[in-house]
Amino acid sequence: MLRTTLAGLRLHKSRYVTTVLAIMLGVMFTTGTMVFADTLKAGYEKTVMGSATSVDAIAVDTHTEPEGLDEPWETVPLTEEHLTAIRGLPEVSGAGGMAQGQAVLLDGEGRAFGFAPPAAVSIEEHSRFSADEGRLPVGGGEIALATSTAEQIGFEIGDTVTVLDREQEKRDFELTGLVDFGADRTYSQLGTVVFDTATLREMTGAEGYSEIDVIASEGHTDDQVVEAVSTVLGPDFEVSTGEEFGLAMAEGSGADTEMLRVVLLLFSFIAMFVAGIVIYNTFAILIAQRQRELALLRCVGAKRSQVFRSVLAESVVVGLVASALGVLAGIGIGLAGATFGGPLLGTEGSTLVITPLAVAVGLVLGTTVTVFSALVPATRATRVAPLAALRTSATAAGLEKGTGWIRVVLGVAAFAVSAALVGFSQATGPDPLGPVVVTAAALVAFVGVVVLGPLLVRGIVRVVGAPLRRVGVPSMLAVDNSVRSPRRAATAMIALTVGATLITGYSVVSASTEATLTEELEDRFPVDYQIMAQYGAEAIAGEGTEEIPEDGGAAEGTEDALGEETGTDDVEGMAWPLDPGIPTEVRALLQEQDVLERVMADRGVALATEGDDLLPVTTYVNGRLGVDLTADTVEGELTDLGPGKVVLSEGYADGAKVGDTFGVPGLWDGRDLDLEVVAITEDAQRLNGAVIDPEDFAAAFPEITEDRALFVIAKDEADPALVRETVMGAVDGYPTLQVVSVAEMKNQFSEVLDIAFYTVAAMLGLAIIIAVFGISNTMALSVLERTRESALLRALGLTRAQLRRMLSVEAVLLCLIGAGIGIVLGVVFGWAAADSVLPGMVFSAPVDQIAVFIALALLAGLIAAVLPARRAAGTSITGALASE
């Protein structure tokens, strides 16, 4: 029996080419992902480990996590005494301490780098870090930067670098070297500057050491060193060997790689799913075409089980061969990915890692999917009656029967359930669970499409085909051919629908997000520039310590508030500014400028209410609510805000209605401020919490003297360059203030969305390529089936070109229907998904992108038809007429 199977495979191998390609592509992606991720991970580990293994023992300071939100991190630093003691140990030949603080680094334009100050560390002899280019800084006039930081700002060795000291005074340093900190987030996220220890202490006020690196003296193992150091330091500090330390760090940094792996595997799952559909269709068609062959086997005595096994054996062989090819291709892709993508992700020169798991997963996945997809056709094969051998093949000439009413009922039910789910997700309002519900709804709708597929194909062809029929005989025949086996056509098309739905859905979400943001920025909050202070040390959880003094001016207001807050424990509510402030002089300066229409400011505090919730209380100085700042309201008018009035967002309203009295709780002097509610806004918009009049705010929170953010609106006719110059001039004396042009922000945001979209589209492109293979294969098998028909048409005077055109039109029709259904589903569910998470979502269908998809579907159809059409046109008429 196996011999028959293999002989059959050899005979019909051309029929499997596209199937093999489909499986191969899916497996290639999966194995490629694994190899890529493994290689990347090894690369990361090497980079991270590399620095740690250069020393023998590492001692670090201890952090105690704060108990409450308002408690600072408790840090016990290593001290100079510790370092001296360690140096004195006989097991130790050398030890170096690394102190750490924060310093504001200015870029070439004199503005503070990053949204928060970079880390500042001291590196001296015996450290696990060393200068990769140039040399480490020595003395008060030299500085080194992390390689990535220097790259981002565009500094080179020899340049003069300006850093603000503790008094916010500018100090210039010469850049002497670059240090590669690898993928360690502590150093890579915000950037890192390097000084020698004395300069670091002077610049940042950092005390003690955060880490001491130790080199063993000859004849002592790492473990002995660790033990000796531990004894000196006592139980308060963690000591580990360089290798252990490296491994721990590698584990942490590997998380990114794992995330990447999961995302890529998700895409390969989609690809394999589509490949499964293609394989299923191929086997189903082949079984139908080989009915007589199988019946003959039954006639000569093969049992049902033998027929079943024969078909399954065929799928195993096809699956294994294709998977093996896929694994090989995947290793190639993984290598390419690591070579070209690795440097972008921070690893270089890593050697290819091929784990047995990657190979096994590829082989097993490909074969399993193939065999699984062949199960249904194989079962169908067992139902072939021996008598069928004597009849002429039903599939060759016949048309499939109509769609059963059960199918219709099931399909309609699926759509109804899906619609109900979408309705539910919309009714509940923005909710993190929304997309999950929408995804479920999309899956259910997809089941509906699968069930109703044949009917859909027939219905759509009837509509679309009507004008096509008039174009000419080839397109008329193509329209008729495309509905000959609607089930087959539907399956081929659905493979494409999967990809089209996902891409369109994603593009709709992406475009709607952008449109929503644009509306937010342009209509509701039409400002040109936004000025904010660089985040202070305490704004970054875990980074800041009490030992690090304030960055100065920018954060002084914060200091006051913090002091006040801790000093007023007896007051029921507590409040502190959410962000560091902007000196009022900046606003005053800006308000004098002619080119500016208006300079708004917002000030705010967060008040602890009776629960654990924080109530943000905000006021907009100079800003007219309902005019300069708008939001969707549940009720009331924003313009009614004035002294004694308050605007609340729904979530904080606590059931209050317009006209009610709302008590802003726990004020500084213990008095409640009773305000009349004039409007309730929808949640998760720009206006959040309680918005009150500046007069009330100043009376209630006299300690807050600085603005949290400034919003600059230029005059309509003002020259943009002049506006920019004016704004930048105003903040010239305050390097830590961050000026954001809203236009730039929008561009950056669009850019990020675009990059994400193209990446996702490229990943899903694979699923689409596989689906096109499926359509091509379906066409090729149909052409084989219709050889005699093609010969007849040729005899009756259809030219080769017309025959080719006929098949192209059929394939294009299939692709367009598949893509069309996908686009419709994608738009609907993209809208539903976006609306379920984005408050005040502005729906935007990316018309140009959708046009591109349709053009691509057309192209895909043409490509899918190339080989089958060549084959059909190339067949000799007399040979085809003589066969059978």
Partner 1 sequence: MKDIGDEAGRRSRIGTRTFRVPAHRLESSIVNAPASDPRSPVAPPPVVVARGLTKIYDTGGTRVHALDGVDVEFHRGAFTAIMGPSGSGKSTLMHCLAGLDVPSSGTVHLGRTQITGLRDAELTLLRRDRIGFIFQSFNLLPMLTAEQNILLPSQIAKRKVDRERFDRVVEVVGLRERLHHLPAKLSGGQQQRVAVARALLSAPEVVYADEPTGNLDSRSGSEVLEFLRTSAEEMHQTIVMVTHDPIAASYADRVVFLRDGRLVDEVSEPTAELVSARLLKLEEA
Cβ nearer to partner 1, comparing 216 with 798? 798
To partner 1, the closest distance from the beta carbon of 441 in angstroms equals 37
CB 118 within 8 A of CB 192: yes
- For partner 1, the closer of residues 473 and 745 by Cβ is 473
Q: Which residue's CB is nearer to partner 1, number 376 or number 397?
A: 397
Residue with tokens 């108990």: 67
Closest to partner 1 by CB, 188 vs 875, is: 875
| DSSP strand pairing (737-741 vs 62-64) | unpaired
- DSSP notation for 41-76: HHHHHHHHHHHHHTSSEEEE-EEE--SSTTSPPEEE
Binders of partner 1 among 837-876, rule CB under 8 A?
A: 876
Cβ proximity to partner 1, 661 vs 876, nearer residue:
876
Of 18 and 782, the one with the shorter C-beta distance to partner 1 is: 782
Measured between alpha carbons, how far is 493 from 184 in angstroms, rounded to an integer?
47
Residue span binding partner 1 (CB under 8 A) among the ranges 243-251, 304-312, 392-400, 594-602: 392-400
CA distances for 297 relative to 274, 294, 379, 778, angstroms: 32, 5, 15, 25
Rounded to the nearest 10 degrees, what angle do helices 17-53 and 304-341 cross at?
Answer: 40
Q: How many residues bind partner 1 (CB under 8 A)?
A: 28
**Cβ proximity to partner 1, 371 vs 483, nearer residue:** 483
Indicate the residue among 399 and 436 with the shorter CB distance to partner 1.
399
Binding of partner 1 by 882 (CB under 8 A):
yes
Residues 187-216 that bind partner 1 (CB under 8 A): none
Spatial contact of 165 and 130, defined as CB atoms under 8 Å apart: no
881 binds partner 1 (CB under 8 A): yes
Smallest separation, CB 388 to partner 1 (Å)? 17
From the CB of 799, what's the least distance to partner 1, in Å? 5
- Per CB under 8 A, which region of 393-401, 505-513, 522-530, 827-835 contacts partner 1? 393-401
CB 388 within 8 A of CB 299: no
Q: Which of 424, 802, 858, 866 binds partner 1 (CB under 8 A)?
A: 802
Which region, judged by CB under 8 A, interacts with partner 1, from 259-267, 290-298, 591-599, 790-798?
790-798
∠ at Cα 112 (109, 118), nearest 5°?
Answer: 130
Backbone angles phi and psi of 525, in degrees to 5: -145, 65
Question: In this structure, are residues 534 and 117 in contact, taking their beta carbons and an 8 Å threshold?
Answer: yes
List the one residue from 798, 817, 827, 867 that touches partner 1 (CB under 8 A). Answer: 798
Check if the beta carbon of residue 146 is closer than 8 Å to that of residue 179: yes
Nearer to partner 1, 355 or 802 (CB): 802
Q: Which is nearer to partner 1, 484 or 524 (CB)?
A: 484
User: Closest separation between CB of residue 757 and partner 1, Å?
Assistant: 41
Q: Closest distance between partner 1 and the C-beta of residue 882, in Å?
A: 7
Considering only residues 439 through 498, tell me which ones interact with partner 1, judged by CB under 8 A.
472-473, 476-477, 480-481, 483-484
9 binds partner 1 (CB under 8 A): no
Residues with Cβ < 8 Å from 89, sequence gap 6 or more? 225, 228, 229, 232
| Residue 813 contacts partner 1 per CB under 8 A | no
Contacts of 625 (CB under 8 A, 6+ apart): 638, 639, 641, 647, 687, 691
Q: How far is the CB of 795 from partner 1 (least distance, A)?
A: 5
Residues 343-382, one symbol each (x = binds partner 1 by CB under 8 A, - = not), give ----------------------------------------
Which C-beta is closer to partner 1: that of 7 or that of 399?
399
Q: Residue 397 burial (CB < 10 Å; 0-12/13-18/19+)?
A: exposed
What number of other Cβ atoms are within 10 A of residue 620's Cβ?
23
Rounded CA-CA distance 99/123 in Å is 8
Closer Cβ to partner 1, 726 or 782, answer by number? 782
Of these, 221, 428, 759, 878, which contacts partner 1 (CB under 8 A)?
878
Nearest distance in Å: CB 399, partner 1: 6
Task: Lay out the site mask for partner 1 across 700-739 (x = CB under 8 A, - = otherwise).
Answer: ----------------------------------------
Distances (CA, A) of 141 to 133, 178, 198, 218, 732: 18, 16, 11, 36, 24
Binder among 252, 800, 851, 859 for partner 1 (CB under 8 A): 800
Taking the C-alpha atoms of residue 61 and residue 307, their distance in angstroms, rounded to an integer, is 71
Q: Does 582 bind partner 1 (CB under 8 A)?
A: no
Interacting residue with partner 1 among 789, 839, 858, 866 (CB under 8 A)? 789
CA atoms of 468 and 465, how far apart (whole Å): 5
β-strands 673-681, 645-649 pairing: parallel
DSSP three-state, residue 111: coil
Residue from 466, 795, 851, 855 touching partner 1 (CB under 8 A): that is 795
* CB neighbour list of residue 262: distance below 8 Å, 6 or more residues apart: none
In this complex, which beta carbon is closest to partner 1, that of residue 530 or of residue 787?
Answer: 787
- Any contact of residue 788 with partner 1 (CB under 8 A)? yes
Distance separating alpha carbons of residues 625 and 617, to the nearest angstrom: 15
CA distance 665 to 180: 51
Q: Which is nearer to partner 1, 393 or 534 (CB)?
A: 393
Q: Does residue number 398 form part of the binding site for partner 1 (CB under 8 A)? A: yes
Q: Does residue 635 sit in helix, strand or coil?
A: strand
* CA–CA gap between residue 499 and residue 362 (Å, rounded): 21
- Smallest distance from the beta carbon of 384 to partner 1, in angstroms? 21
d(CA 697, CA 604): 9
Residues listed for the chain? 884
Residue 310: enclosing H or E segment and its boundaries?
A: helix 304-341
| Cβ nearer to partner 1, comparing 291 with 688 | 291
Helical spans, DSSP H, in 705-786:
720-730, 742-785
Q: Return d(Cα 444, Cα 255) in angstroms, integer.
A: 33
Q: Judged by CB under 8 A, which of 348, 744, 799, 848 binds partner 1?
A: 799
- Binding positions for partner 1, 247-286, rule CB under 8 A: none
- Closest Cα to residue 853, out of 506, 511, 500? 500
Tell me how far, at minimum, the Cβ of 394 lies from partner 1, in Å.
10
Is residue 586 within 8 Å of 604, Cβ to Cβ? no
Nearer to partner 1, 566 or 878 (CB): 878
Q: Is 298 exposed, middle or buried (0-12, 13-18, 19+ CB in 10 A)?
A: buried
Q: Which stretch binds partner 1 (CB under 8 A): 19-27, 383-391, 522-530, 789-797?
A: 789-797
Cβ proximity to partner 1: between 20 and 803 the closer is: 803
CB of 880 to partner 1, least distance (A): 10
Residue placing its CB nearer to partner 1 in the complex, 231 or 876 = 876
The first and second tokens of residue 431, run together, are 């909710």
Shortest Å distance, C-beta 303 to partner 1: 33
Q: With H, G, I as helix, E, B as strand and everything else as coil, classify residue 472.
A: coil
Under the criterion CB under 8 A, does residue 593 sit at the interface with partner 1? no
Q: Give min distance, CB of 852 to partner 1, in A.
A: 33
Lookup: tokens for 560 = 């006051």
Q: Contact at 8 Å (CB) between 180 and 132?
A: yes
Q: Is 792 in the site for partner 1 (CB under 8 A)?
A: yes
Applying CB under 8 A, which of residues 385, 387, 399, 859 lies at the interface with partner 1? 399
CB of 492 to partner 1, least distance (A): 18
- Residues that bind partner 1 in the complex, under the rule CB under 8 A: 397-399, 472-473, 476-477, 480-481, 483-484, 788-789, 792-800, 802, 876-878, 881-882
